[in-house]
Chains A and B, each alone.
Chain A
Amino acid sequence: MPKTLYDKLWESHVVHTEADGTALLYIDRHLIHEVTSPQAFEGLKLAGRKPWRTSSIVATADHNTPTTHWERGIEDPVSRQQVETLDANIREVGALAYFPFKDKRQGIVHVVGPENGATLPGMTVVCGDSHTSTHGAFACLAHGIGTSEVEHVLATQCLLQKKSRSMLVRVEGPLGRGVTAKDIVLALIGRIGTAGGTGYAIEFAGSAIRALSMEGRMTICNMAIEAGARVGFVAVDDTTIAYLKGRDFAPRGEDWERAIACWRTLVSDSDARFDAVVDLDASGIVPQVTWGTSPEMVAGIDGAVPAPEDFQDPVKREGVERALQYMGLTPRTPIGQIRIDKVFIGSCTNSRIEDLRDAATVVRGRHIAANVKLALVVPGSGLVKSQAEAEGLDRIFTAAGFEWRQPGCSMCLAMNDDRLNPGERCASTSNRNFEGRQGAGGRTHLVSPAMAAAAAIAGHFVDVRQLA
């Protein structure tokens, strides 16, 4: 029987199946950060259990770490305690790799795993973090899990899962100039909704996906969770293999050759059947900007904020009303007239080197608008930061009035000091525009790095294609 990539990834990890189909899946890679792990380590200890295979663990501190004044350490005592708890836990149990606060490889867990070659095709990857779906870009079965599951994986190297249905998202055709992976995924979520992928495992395919770099594929898989799907992935091709070659934890020598042969099988069979198929025409996608408090509330840069009465479903209509009120927006306002206060370029969606290059291209030789109070660039990791500095991107940003920060999650979720004040409006390259996400009362508009850069320069949203 022909198989989907999902079938292959699933079947190759089943250790045991219960009568109702619940499977015990073996976990190859366990990523750990400070926020969702302390209770799991504590639970393990209280139950007198030992971790099963600590060489599966790659850990880093990212959510709570400051992005300025590293010489002062972590000043918030509660944040510091959480990061120190991670230090102590990893010191006690061990790991394949640990990138603690201030390490030159420290960074956002979903940036750090792939760039060190710790995310390899065919793996099951878990992390107590919903954006673990990012690693699906490498044809991994990558799940976000809760803390009880973190403990379960620590103790048993397995996860209890029910198989999802399969969805194929096919994006065909050339992407327009200035249109990026972020725009593809926002347009998709606008189309199927934030619950459109619930219960599905999404495979992203089609010529537009094939044409993307690994960075772009990670951006798309990262936001699979925003479409409701716990996992999203892309089949292996030459781009995948070229990216991995020579990375620290990638195989070498004879193993490399064997691994490639194995990875080449990680594609859906040509006649495989999916439970659902969604087709998107890449050439019709324009730069996207969210206007509401859910990623599905999105429009093209050439569009306008909708009115509640555009929506039939009463629950939806009320949701839109509440969103417009929270966002301080009037129906029918053209997206290009929305003025911003802050800009955030960063997060596990868009903080990789390619994202920074994209933004820098727009910013080069220009300056942020007078009404922009703060424009932040937060590289995804120490390695991204040093690469960008070697290319001189930091100087392009600082000359334009941006702040160049230390790596971490930063204003994506505002657990550290980087945040919006009530009522402030932000062009953000992150993945969630929920109420209060970037600070209580803050207003988030999700965009691509190029669009965030363009908004910083103009002071309002603007079509990046007209700036260039």
Chain B
Amino acid sequence: MKPFTLHDGLVAPLDRSNVDTDAIIPKQFLKSIKRSGFGPNAFDEWRYMDQGEPGMDNSLRPKNPNFVLNQDRYQGASILLVRQNFGCGSSREHAPWALEDFGFRTIIGESFADIFFNNCFKNGLLPIVLPKAEMDALFGLTEHSPGFRLKVDLPAQLVMRPDGHAIPFEVDAFRKECLVNGWDDIGLTLRHADKIREYEANRRAGQPWLFA
């Protein structure tokens, strides 16, 4: 996993609540058995005018001019602003894969759905929760200042606006450590292999039917 420490990037706004993972990456693209290549189909139904299917040449498809991420000013954005309950619905990890492949490194919003939130950390994508007032201000700034950028400092847990205003955010200590170091958590867990074996042996002795 790519480590995440400091990130400075162009900001794009997606000003709606309850954006579900079906919208982030529609099901027809879930037939792939790969982990990569989902970026061109991120937000497919909103982004293109036609109906997307796997295997299409996405560069030839008509884009929806009204979809915010299609606007010239947001091309190359790596920070996405969202509202409440972002990533709700299906547990598909294809959603963070698609966002990451699209070029996002961090998503800042008022709240996230649990499974999506968790999946982000496994893919070097940092989800940040900020209070509504800060989000309102960020949406305003993004809209009114072309080329608006933010700096995200994970070690210091700060989102820094160009005007010097620094917004603190919370992150679990363990998740932060994994992300900052780019650690593979399977490797970390396997350090406890003896403990797992011991737990398993006790469980098998106490409730053998669980191991049928």
Contacts and interface: CB of A to CB of B under 8 A. Distances in A.
Nearest to A316: B17
B84 A440 contact: no
B209 to A, nearest CB: 3
A249 interface: yes
A435 B21 CA distance: 11
Contact of B196 (A42, A129, A158): A158
A301 B95 CA distance: 35
Interface in A42-78: 42-43, 47, 49, 52-53, 55, 63-64, 76, 78
Contacts of A174: none
A251 B210 CA distance: 8
A240 B39 CA distance: 45
B200 A319 contact: no
21 contacts: A16-B195, A49-B186, A78-B32, A81-B33, A123-B210, A130-B89, A145-B118, A148-B123, A152-B186, A156-B193, A198-B113, A229-B114, A230-B114, A294-B18, A315-B15, A315-B16, A413-B22, A415-B30, A434-B22, A436-B23, A436-B45
B66 interface: no
B192 interface: yes
Contacts of A229: 114
A440 B210 contact: no
Interface stretch (A17-25, A357-365, A385-393): A17-25
Interface in B135-192: 172-175, 184-186, 189-190, 192
A212 interface: no
Nearest to A81: B33
Given A149-B122, A156-B190, A160-B189, A38 B33 contact: yes
A434 B20 contact: yes
A195 B54 contact: no
A81 B26 CA distance: 19
A158 B190 CA distance: 10
Interface in B69-126: 83-85, 88-94, 96, 111, 113-115, 118-119, 122-123
Contact of A20 (B34, B172, B207): B172
B122 A146 contact: yes
B99 to A, nearest CB: 13
A319 B174 contact: no
B17 A319 contact: yes
Contact of A78 (B54, B195, B199): B54
A255 B193 CA distance: 28
Interface residues of A, number: 78
Given A18-B174, A144-B115, A194-B85, A160 B185 contact: yes
A139 B156 CA distance: 41
B33 A162 contact: no
A122 interface: yes
A130 to B, nearest CB: 4
Given A130-B90, A148-B93, A157-B200, A20 B16 contact: no
Given A19-B173, A24-B192, A146-B122, A319 B211 contact: no
B91 A415 contact: no
B209 A255 contact: yes
Chain A contact residues: helix, strand, loop or mixed = loop
B7 interface: no
A278 to B, nearest CB: 18
A432 B113 CA distance: 15
Contacts of B96: 146
Contacts of B192: 15-16, 24, 158
B26 to A, nearest CB: 6
Contact of B185 (A152, A294, A318, A414): A152
A383 B14 CA distance: 45
A369 interface: no
Interface string A305-331: 000000000011011001000000000
B60 interface: no
B16 A322 contact: yes
Given A28-B210, A35-B92, A146-B91, 10 more contacts: A42-B33, A49-B186, A129-B90, A130-B115, A145-B91, A149-B119, A194-B18, A228-B113, A413-B27, A434-B89
Given A146-B122, A434-B89, A198 B114 contact: yes
B118 A432 contact: no
B23 A434 contact: yes
Given A22-B174, A39-B35, A319-B18, A130 B91 contact: yes
Contacts of B118: 145-146, 149
Given A130-B90, A146-B122, A251-B212, A230 B115 contact: yes
